[in-house]
């Protein structure tokens, strides 16, 4: 049934430093049907930083060219928007320009019926305006809780898209009840994991990067971006408390971290290719999830949780509802001292203890299976909609 559809997919920046569920789902959808991946603009207004200016210039260049084939049935395009959403006239301009640009870009999907698929809420004003037959909202976060965003505008966009969608998939368990109250066609759909890729961290044939081969002492590792929701003070406390250990942080630092840069046993290696993460993780004696406790974290479903589990490495983490579901496999810490004690215990036990149980816990939670489950729900909803339409035509 789905073979007659093409997807207009509004996701995170395709060229972002880290791979998110937005990228994983789109690639697997494209194995089933044509997908036009549309870069969504950032939720916060751009800053005068070199990174933001380079990103804005790149998006402008990409907006002036036709959609580019990424692989197979997956195409990519950029449709920029003015970020000043409260300025009179800007929302109307964004809607009209985006509709015009997307109708041109959607030609790559051919004559198929369209499904609009939103992973971020702020392009949601395009829902039902692209001639699509069906609308999906795949909600992976409490977007209005992100730092630096216009929270009332983002919250309103999220609510409007939730109500407009034919079906809503929600990754964070803490958001399911709220979304179900807003749209009865809401389904819980937790994140998946590339289990085979991250299992390479336990493969004797995997070589660790040259940089980490001669690290002294135990290695406490983290991979993922370093944003405002990462408890930098906690990491600094741990590093000062165990100066003979190495704290290896793999990922783009979106915030300034002078307190970490000042510590000789903290190594920040920056963003690394996604496929290389298992090699970095192989060097970990224990992996950490050092989140701050705030609304955003409470409503998050961290990708790295399942990725860490798939490596088999011990994990010490701050709790949230999703992490708590794996409490038998993750050492959950409450406060700095408790986190340090969890690290001490994990180091004392060694990385092999419980490794097979951790890997087995996510072996069947692959992205392939998640997308198959989601598409099954979409196909069921489409079939029900077709039957309703047929009944109306007969009665009419």
Shared domain check, 353 and 271: yes
From start to end of 213-343, where are the E strands? Answer: 219-223, 246-250, 266-270, 286-289, 315-318, 331-333
Q: Are 317 and 385 found together in one domain?
A: no
Question: Do both 297 and 315 map to the same domain?
Answer: yes
Cα–Cα distance measured from residue 130 to residue 118, given in angstroms and rounded to the nearest whole number: 13
Rounded CA-CA distance 90/122 in Å is 13
Specify whether the CB–CB gap between 291 and 265 falls below 8 A: no
Taking only the tens of pLDDT, the chain with its 396 residues reads 788 999 999 998 888 878 889 999 999 999 999 999 999 766 555 554 555 445 555 555 555 578 999 999 999 998 877 666 667 777 777 778 888 889 889 999 998 999 999 999 989 999 999 999 999 999 999 999 988 888 998 999 999 999 999 999 999 999 999 999 999 999 999 999 999 999 999 999 999 999 998 888 899 999 999 999 999 999 999 999 999 999 999 999 999 999 999 999 999 999 999 999 999 999 999 999 999 999 999 999 999 999 999 999 999 999 999 999 999 999 999 999 999 999 999 999 999 999 999 999 999 999 999 999 999 999 999 988 766 545 545 455
Q: How many CA atoms lie within 13 A of 337 on its CB side?
A: 0
Q: Are residues 216 and 118 in the same domain?
A: no
Angle at 74 between CA 68 and CA 76, to 5 degrees: 35
Tokens standing for 292? Answer: 């701050």
Question: E strands of 244-373, at which residues?
Answer: 246-250, 266-270, 286-289, 315-318, 331-333
327 and 271, same domain (yes or no): yes
**Distance in angstroms (rounded) separating the CA atoms of residues 244 and 231:** 21
Query: Do 256 and 289 fall within a single domain?
Result: yes
Closest listed residue to residue 278, CA positions, set 360, 191, 362, 196: 196
Contact at 8 Å (CB) between 283 and 267?
Answer: no
DSSP-derived secondary structure for 71-95: ETTEEEEE----S-TTSTTHHHHHH
Where would I find the H helices in 5-129?
Answer: 21-29, 50-63, 90-105
44 closest CA partner among 126, 118, 144, 113: 144
Whole-angstrom Cα distance, residue 319 to residue 332? 6
Among 144, 153, 42, 147, CA closest to 87: 153
pLDDT at 217: 87
Is 177 found in the same domain as 250?
no
Q: Report the Cα 343 to chain-centroid distance in Å.
A: 26
Based on the fold, state whether residues 151 and 202 are members of the same structural domain.
no
If asked whether residues 172 and 304 sit together in one domain, one would say no
Within this chain, do residues 60 and 157 fall inside the same structural domain, yes or no?
yes
| 179 and 66 both lie in a single domain | yes
Domain co-membership, 73 together with 172: yes
Sheet with 74-78, side-by-side order of all strands? 68-71, 74-78, 35-39, 5-11, 113-118, 134-139, 167-170, 186-188
| Residue of 247, 244, 58, 86 whose CA lies nearest to 151 | 86
CATH number of residue 81's parent domain: 3.40.50.11010
b/e code 91-100 from CB counts within 10 Å (16+ = b)? beebeeebbe
The total domain count for the chain is: 2
| Phi then psi dihedrals of residue 353, to 5 deg | -65, 120
d(CA 74, CA 69) in angstroms, rounded, equals 6
The residue segments making up the domain with residue 12 are 2-192+366-395
Q: List strands edge to edge, sheet with 315-318.
A: 266-270, 246-250, 219-223, 286-289, 315-318, 331-333
Nearest-10 crossing angle of helices 336-349, 232-241: 50
CATH number of 273's domain: 3.40.50.2000
**What beta strand segments (E) does 73-228 contain?**
74-78, 113-118, 134-139, 167-170, 186-188, 219-223
């Amino acid at each position: 049934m789905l073979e007659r559809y093409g997807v207009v997919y509004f996701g995170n920046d395709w060229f972002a430093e880290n791979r998110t569920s937005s990228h994983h789902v789109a690639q697997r959808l494209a194995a089933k049907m044509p997908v036009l991946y549309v870069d969504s603009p950032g939720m916060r207004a751009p800053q005068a930083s070199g990174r933001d200016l380079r990103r804005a210039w790149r998006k402008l260049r990409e907006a002036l060219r036709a959609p580019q084939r990424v692989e197979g049935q997956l195409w990519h395009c950029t449709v920029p928007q003015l970020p000043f959403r409260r300025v009179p006239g800007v929302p109307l301009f964004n809607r009209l320009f985006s509709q015009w640009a997307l109708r041109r870009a959607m030609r790559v999907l051919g004559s198929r019926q369209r499904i609009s698929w939103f992973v971020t809420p702020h392009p949601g004003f395009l829902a039902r305006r692209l001639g699509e037959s069906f609308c999906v909202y795949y909600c992976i976060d409490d977007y209005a809780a992100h730092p630096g965003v216009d929270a009332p505008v983002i919250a309103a966009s999220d609510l409007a898209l939730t109500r407009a969608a034919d079906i809503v998939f929600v990754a964070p368990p803490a958001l399911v009840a709220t979304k179900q109250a807003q749209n009865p066609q809401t389904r819980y759909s937790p994140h998946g994991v590339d289990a085979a890729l991250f299992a390479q961290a336990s493969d004797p044939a995997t070589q660790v990067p040259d940089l980490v081969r001669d690290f002294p002492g135990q290695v406490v590792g983290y991979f993922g971006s370093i944003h405002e929701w990462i408890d930098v003070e906690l990491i600094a406390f741990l590093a000062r408390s165990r100066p003979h250990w190495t704290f290896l942080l793999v990922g783009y630092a979106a915030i300034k971290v002078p307190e970490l840069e000042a510590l000789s046993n903290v190594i920040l290696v920056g963003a690394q290719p996604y496929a290389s993460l298992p090699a970095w993780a192989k060097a970990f004696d224990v992996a950490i999830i050092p989140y701050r406790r705030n609304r955003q974290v409470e409503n998050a479903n961290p990708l790295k949780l399942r990725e860490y589990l798939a490596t088999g490495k011990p994990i010490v983490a701050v709790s949230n509802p999703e992490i708590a579901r794996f409490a038998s496999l993750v050492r959950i810490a409450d406060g700095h001292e408790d986190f340090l004690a969890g690290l001490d215990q994990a180091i004392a036990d060694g990385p092999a203890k419980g490794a097979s149980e951790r890997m087995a816990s996510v072996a069947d939670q692959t992205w392939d299976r998640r997308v198959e489950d989601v598409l099954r729900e979409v196909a069921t909803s489409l079939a029900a909609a077709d039957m309703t339409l047929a009944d109306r035509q007969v009665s009419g």
